[in-house]
Amino acid sequence: MQRLLVMTIIGDDRPGLVESVASLVAEHSGNWLESRMSRLGGHFAGILRVEVPAECESALVSGLKGLSSRGLNVVIHPDKPPAETKDGARLVRLEIIGQDRPGIVSQISRALAAYGVNVEELQTECASAAMSGETMFVARARLKIPEKSDAAGLRQTLEKIATDLIVEISFGEVAEPAGKLG
């Protein structure tokens, strides 16, 4: 019987962090299924999902917890099977681009929560604008909108926030597979 585990990892960025996790997974007959990892502000952070034989699970968990002595903090949770839903929810893509300022993510996420929208994936970054050098905020999200949600009202609310924050928002159906927001 196979077990599925989801884990987060974080530590000071340095070469070999991914290898230290990957070698433990392989050593315990595990299969690395999916991950999102990145260097953020001098730290390395990631989330990953692995499959491991049930008889190897506790040894793998112990090995991963042991990485804390090398400065890598790992938090492990059993994976939960996806809930079977036939609610007619649809996946949409949301992109936000504009001059950076505090509160953009807060205002957008508040509106999404008010409409019962689940944020399936979110990627954000700040970068210098090519011509002006101003700091630009860029966000890409994959959202799950319940069938019973007022999609037109949500769009109106997001457009009002965009106007208030002076950012551009685009909203459309998801055409790319999960994990491919860029």
Per residue in 102-142, pLDDT (tens digit) is 999 999 999 999 999 999 999 999 988 888 888 999 999 99
**Domains in the chain, please, with CATH?**
2-78 (3.30.70.260), 90-173 (3.30.70.260)
DSSP lists the bridge partners of residue 48 as 7, 35
Mean pLDDT per block of 10 residues along the chain (182 residues) reads 96 93 96 94 94 97 95 93 69 91 92 95 89 88 92 90 88 62 48
| pTM (two decimals) | 0.76
Q: Please give the full DSSP string across the chain, using - where no structure is assigned.
A: -EEEEEEEEEEE--TTHHHHHHHHHHHTT-EEEEEEEEEETTEEEEEEEEEEEHHHHHHHHHHHHGGGGGTEEEEEEEPPPPP---S--EEEEEEEEEE--TTHHHHHHHHHHHTT-EEEEEEEEEEE-TTT--EEEEEEEEEEE-TTS-HHHHHHHHHHHHHHHTEEEEEEE--SPTT---
